[in-house]
Structure 1
Amino acid sequence: MERYCSVTLDYGSKSLVFKSEAGINLHKALLLNHSGISSPCGGKGTCGKCKVVVSGELSPPTEIEKSKLTRQELDAGVRLACQAVLTGDVKIRIKDEKSAFIQIDGLPYKVGISPVSQRIQIHLPGTSLTNCPDDVKRLRDGLQRDHLKISRSLMAKISNLLNEREQDILATVTEDELADINIFAEQTPDYGFAVDIGTTTIVGYLVNLITGEIEDTVSELNEQAAFGADVLSRISYGKENAEGNRVLHDKIVSQLGHMLKKTVERKGLAKDAICGISVAGNTIMMHFLMGLNPFRISVAPFTPVFTSSYFCRGEEIGLAYHPRCPVYILPSIAGYVGADIVAGMLVCSLLDPTRTQLLVDIGTNGEMALSREGAVLCCSVAAGPAFEGAGIRWGVGGIDGAIDSVDLKDGTLKIHTLSDKKPIGICGSGLLDAVSIMVQNGIIDEGGRFAEPCEWSPEAAGLWDRMQEINGEKVFVLTGPGCLPEETIFLCQQDIREVQLAKAAVHAGITTLLNNQGTTPEQVDAVWLAGGFGNKLRKESAVNIGLLPKELAPKIRFAGNTSGVGAVMALLSKDCRDKCDIIKTKARYLELSALAGFNDTFIESIGFEA
């Protein structure tokens, strides 16, 4: 007979009590009860980020916990949720969630208005014994479109809404389908909702389909992050759990519905004013949204179920909040070059035959596209999660208290944190700055190893006391004196290795694209850096550590959230939707794992140049 434990969960000002089966770890217990916790590695015990404070009946600390947690933390009841197994009733405390800094803005856009769908007011005359066409014909005649598709589910609504009397109807129409009808009440502007579904964050844009302007935005951390920081961890969860893919699908769709509802209510709109949705994101997130199993993208030859643009209605993807709303999903290129990159190519006009341009979006996967004379070559590299806070001992995302920049001025190391809060860790942009300073001043050598202080530059002489030994490990301390041992933020040798692997992957990908397009860095007219991390990094730091070739430094432009802006443009304009399909047709994907010489290029890119 199964035995159940009582779990009391306190997080911030909220509290939750639930029953959970004994013998499972806290991470799984929290997921099963819709109370996820940050777990970049997906609960495999490798990241050490799923820290909770627990009292009650649990298994003893594992060897993994002893290696990831300090003695002070263990004494204070801190455990890793993925390692601690329930043996009885427990009380869990999770730290308050920090506000995340999510990239919303992007490049300006100007498009002709021809949206995914629009509402059209029509007058239906009454019927009689001598003039009694069926309701579908009446609607098609009223819209003057004889071949509009009408789904069975809409016909069910028609059967309950229309009658024999004269009626004024508001019809939601796409290019080829009657999507919805409602009784006309008053004339209000049409709105659409454009969505960028990222692995880490989701951004929604409320767009006026008459003026083309963005009137509101809503952004949140992707709730799927509880199942792993990267898409491969989530694919593993889907494969290893019988209902895993359904859970991941439900999570993303319910969050999308919640975000749409939030912005509709904030603007005081009727739900039916939203007459179209467009979505961009990486290929795997598009599969989760559609309820498709993305497993084959994770194994060679990395085959997706679909990459074409796709039209459907909200009910087909499980969008319960607005089931009849037309949904347009932008096309992808390949398993690891998704609709977010197609959107970016649209925004940055990579099809312009007069310019040679490079688009780079750096995340767990570094996705990039190089255009020359209208031909586009793209690829994806496994950059790893270092720049997004995972895999780094004190790494965090872009949240309050994250060290987001590091400077060395007059021999003094100065750090800045987001919202000027007390330092809690270091995010990607701060990591780049710190490593750049260490490279420039000889604190780490060309191979990435910590150098002896006597080898450092004169500028860094005042930092000698920052090279310390903590728990038997040599580290470089970033925070100032006076920090408690458990709050001392540092970079260790493994952190430097993670940065080397990430920057080498991106640099090698760019070099390979240039070589295969027969292009030199000097011939590139513009380098567009997209996404939240790309928009916050200092280009000097990126070039100093070798993330980007130094010849490209003067050409770097910050493009912001190109995936979100591209989704807005596609929502508004048929011309832009057609361009997305052209981009998909013209773009050629380069599979680097099958390319002779790529590994050599990668290895050559690992070292630093002082």
Structure 2
Amino acid sequence: MGKLVENLKEIKVIIEPEGRIIQGKRGENLAQILKRGGINLNTWCNLKGICGKCAIEIIEGRVNEKKEEEIKIWKIKNWPKTYRLACQIFLEGDIKIKIPEESIIKDFKILDRGLMIKKEIEPAIKTYQISFVHNDLVRAGSILDYLREKLNIEELKFSLSSLEGLSEFDLENDVIIYVYDGKELVRLSKGAPASPLLGLAIDLGTTTIVMEAIDLESGEILGRQTDFNHQLSFGSDILSRIAFACTSPDNLKKLQTTIIDELNQMIGKFRDGCGLEEENFMEAVVAGNATMNHLLLGLPVASLARAPFISLFSSIEPLRAKDLNLRINPEARIFIAPNIRSFVGGDISAGLMAAGLFDHPGPFAFIDLGTNGEIVVKKDDQIVVTSTAAGPAFEGGNLSCGLPAVNGAIWRAELINHELKIETVNGRPARGICGSGLIDLLAIFLQQGVIKPDGRIARGQEKIEIQADIFLTQEDIRQAQLACAALKTGFRLLLENLSLDPRQLQAIYLAGGFGQELSIENSQAIGLIPRIEKEKVIFLGNTSLAGARLLLLNNSSRKDLLSFLEKIEYISLAMEPNFQDYFLQALKFGPWP
């Protein structure tokens, strides 16, 4: 009993220099305490102690001893004795700490711009002003039949709550009817229609989220919000979140609640910053990968974790906002951009639609260079698609000095007069390396012979110093090799499937924030993308957001998209007989073909 009481004792975590206090319990993990206290600690590896990004400095207090993995990171980083990994500390008593700036996630460079598409504005939600004429109402026999006749919608659908709402209206006055997809009565109101009638376009990424508030009648973007995905607390990549979700139903619920709460916070900023009424948001379109779609809906992801790696759904009927606890109009509809297959989700299908690539004769390739590394290749009427386990290296994960594209991350490097010159995000002092900077550095070191084509660092060195406290280790280079090899192998197999040589491609379209910052020459030098003419490599920006916007403003595009998806063939790399051989060949850095 005494030991139980001791374990429940409150412990203070004091954060200097501000002196802030967060309460914890004996034996509780320090990283989890800090996150609960609202500190966005960088825990890319989901508290496994292998990414080295949650360093804190201990000023006072006793903590548990370091384990082998932490000692290894501590030596590589050459940290002072007072530095520890927060995720590996379990409290024994009160503790006073400092948190280095690089251990906190903030100031993401989020790609919040995409293609601006000129298409007829034809939203799924429309409003009608109806007057009740006594004789016509009596002849129709019921209010609902009268509305069907007036709207010319014979199969008008309705809910019990909407019928209850009708009974409350004074039939002497006009009523505003909100109809979804030309067939479903979703809202009733008195007086003038909601102005403006609003919708949300949401790019639900693994790492970041972008949300736009859009006038559904004019198509005008009235506001835009960006943030990192708060699910990063549970893992930096899709696979770690799947593992977390599969551990228990409570963990799955935590992931869903985290994302819903974040979306509601972003919606609230439209109200507070732009004066937009939540009640007037009548629809939202979400474009996310298959896993994020499942987690948003609170659906199990176990089927994505084991062969044959399939999702619970490809397309799903629009949901009501109140079913997801989204703080917009309760009867607003939520349209989820359809998944293509397995790990190729609605962000890719929406992106292809936004770029107009379904109508493009090809041959071309479309690549989203992220953790999943989705690749699409089209030739005439044939479209093949796959996803590759590229891992988080291109987003700064699993690297000793890796960072996402935050202030101070090295995003560009070049040799000028044999001297290495670097550029950082927003020109801040360098404190790590993000994905585009990694590509540049690898190409430079490969050219100089500092890195061998097989990935080994020359002369048996343990690491390559870039500047004080920023370096690449042999393991970092190995992570980059695996990421490049995964993409190259997937690309090569899709091309072979369509009997294409990469030099026949009319274009390679690159989507996403990482692709937007890439050096084409350096990407080709290490073999990330094949050698074709530079002008044929085209950056499209945030196609997922552009696709969500298109699907929000043009209802016909949704039906077209579902039709196009029937023509796509998914290629499972695990089932390809040449995959292993091609992958081993692709581990070598260098241009191809």
Alpha-carbon shift at residue 8 of structure 1 (Å) = 3.6
Distance 1:556 1:187 in 2: 44
Q: Which moved more, 1:358-367 or 1:573-582?
A: 573-582
Distance 1:513 1:14 in 2: 56
Superposed CA deviations along residues 563-586 of structure 1, whole A, max 9, x for unmatched, are 110111111112211221023211
Aligned to 1:61: 66
Superposed CA deviations along residues 354-385 of structure 1, whole A, max 9, x for unmatched, are 32111000111110101111221000111111
Alpha-carbon shift at residue 141 of structure 1 (Å) = 4.8
Query: Is 2:353 the partner of 1:349?
Result: no
Alpha-carbon shift at residue 334 of structure 1 (Å) = 1.2
Query: Is 2:312 the partner of 1:305?
Result: yes
Aligned to 2:465: 477
Q: TM-score if structure 2 supplies the norm length?
A: 0.91
Aligned to 2:301: 294
Query: Is 2:479 the partner of 1:498?
Result: yes
Structure 1 residues 31 and 241: alpha-carbon distance in aligned structure 2, compared to 1, 3 A threshold = farther
Aligned to 1:425: 432
Distance 1:131 1:355 in 2: 58
What amino acid is aligned across from residue 530 of structure 1 in structure 2?
A: A
Query: Is 2:507 the partner of 1:515?
Result: no
Distance 1:535 1:443 in 2: 27
Structure 1 residues 140 and 523: alpha-carbon distance in aligned structure 2, compared to 1, 3 A threshold = same
Query: Is 2:273 the partner of 1:269?
Result: no
Query: Is 2:54 the partner of 1:50?
Result: yes
Alpha-carbon shift at residue 475 of structure 1 (Å) = 1.9
Alpha-carbon shift at residue 263 of structure 1 (Å) = 2.1
CA contact (8 A) 2:114 2:543 kept: yes
CA contact (8 A) 2:200 2:211 kept: yes
Distance 1:92 1:133 in 2: 74
Superposed CA deviations along residues 174-216 of structure 1, whole A, max 9, x for unmatched, are 3321122222346623221100100000011222222223332
Distance 2:38 2:425 in 1: 29
Distance 2:19 2:181 in 1: 44
Aligned length: 581
Distance 1:139 1:98 in 2: 52
Alpha-carbon shift at residue 109 of structure 1 (Å) = 0.9
Give the SS at the match of 2:587: coil
Q: Which moved more, 1:295-304 or 1:127-136?
A: 127-136
Distance 1:288 1:11 in 2: 36
Give the SS at the match of 1:405: strand
Structure 1 residues 135 and 40: alpha-carbon distance in aligned structure 2, compared to 1, 3 A threshold = farther
Match for residue 554 of structure 2 among 545, 554, 573: 573
1:450-461 equivalences in 2 (<5 Å): 450-452=457-459
Distance 2:449 2:257 in 1: 50
Structure 1 residues 172 and 129: alpha-carbon distance in aligned structure 2, compared to 1, 3 A threshold = closer
Structure 1 residues 237 and 270: alpha-carbon distance in aligned structure 2, compared to 1, 3 A threshold = same
Query: Is 2:250 the partner of 1:243?
Result: yes
Distance 1:12 1:303 in 2: 49
Give the SS at the match of 1:528: strand
Query: Is 2:203 the partner of 1:199?
Result: no
Structure 1 residues 572 and 442: alpha-carbon distance in aligned structure 2, compared to 1, 3 A threshold = same
Q: TM-score if structure 1 supplies the norm length?
A: 0.89
What amino acid is aligned across from residue 475 of structure 1 in structure 2?
A: K
Query: Is 2:286 the partner of 1:279?
Result: yes
CA contact (8 A) 2:158 2:185 kept: yes
Query: Is 2:22 the partner of 1:17?
Result: yes
Aligned to 1:538: 519
What amino acid is aligned across from residue 209 of structure 1 in structure 2?
A: L
Q: Which moved more, 1:104-113 or 1:56-65?
A: 56-65
Structure 1 residues 240 and 32: alpha-carbon distance in aligned structure 2, compared to 1, 3 A threshold = farther
Structure 1 residues 574 and 128: alpha-carbon distance in aligned structure 2, compared to 1, 3 A threshold = closer
Distance 2:192 2:455 in 1: 68
Query: Is 2:105 the partner of 1:101?
Result: no
Structure 1 residues 132 and 588: alpha-carbon distance in aligned structure 2, compared to 1, 3 A threshold = closer
Distance 1:128 1:343 in 2: 45
Give the SS at the match of 2:362: coil
CA contact (8 A) 2:488 2:529 kept: yes
Q: Which moved more, 1:125-134 or 1:584-593?
A: 125-134
Distance 1:10 1:185 in 2: 53
Give the SS at the match of 2:388: strand
Query: Is 2:181 the partner of 1:174?
Result: yes
Query: Is 2:451 the partner of 1:447?
Result: no
CA contact (8 A) 1:521 1:552 kept: no
CA contact (8 A) 1:350 1:374 kept: no
Give the SS at the match of 2:120: coil
Alpha-carbon shift at residue 156 of structure 1 (Å) = 4.7
CA contact (8 A) 1:123 1:142 kept: no
CA contact (8 A) 1:203 1:217 kept: yes
Aligned to 1:462: none
What amino acid is aligned across from residue 462 of structure 2 in structure 1?
A: K
What amino acid is aligned across from residue 99 of structure 1 in structure 2?
A: D
Distance 1:552 1:212 in 2: 36
CA contact (8 A) 1:375 1:586 kept: yes
Give the SS at the match of 2:93: strand
Distance 1:129 1:578 in 2: 35
Distance 1:271 1:236 in 2: 35
Structure 1 residues 599 and 26: alpha-carbon distance in aligned structure 2, compared to 1, 3 A threshold = same
Q: Which moved more, 1:127-136 or 1:109-118?
A: 127-136
What amino acid is aligned across from residue 122 of structure 2 in structure 1?
A: S
CA contact (8 A) 1:40 1:225 kept: yes
Aligned to 1:458: none
Percent identity at matched positions?
33
Give the SS at the match of 2:260: helix
Match for residue 576 of structure 2 among 587, 591, 595: 595
Give the SS at the match of 2:94: strand
Distance 1:42 1:65 in 2: 14
Alpha-carbon shift at residue 392 of structure 1 (Å) = 0.9
CA contact (8 A) 1:402 1:418 kept: yes
Distance 1:48 1:375 in 2: 45
Aligned to 1:547: 528
1:150-229 equivalences in 2 (<5 Å): 150-159=158-167, 161-185=168-192, 188-229=195-236
Distance 1:186 1:304 in 2: 39
Alpha-carbon shift at residue 14 of structure 1 (Å) = 9.7
Alpha-carbon shift at residue 391 of structure 1 (Å) = 1.0
Give me the CA root mean square deviation.
2.6
Alpha-carbon shift at residue 32 of structure 1 (Å) = 5.7
What amino acid is aligned across from residue 84 of structure 1 in structure 2?
A: I
Aligned to 2:126: 118
Aligned to 2:94: 89
Match for residue 374 of structure 1 among 378, 381, 386: 381
Distance 2:330 2:20 in 1: 33
Q: Which moved more, 1:177-186 or 1:527-536?
A: 177-186
Give the SS at the match of 1:58: coil
Q: Which moved more, 1:274-283 or 1:175-184?
A: 175-184
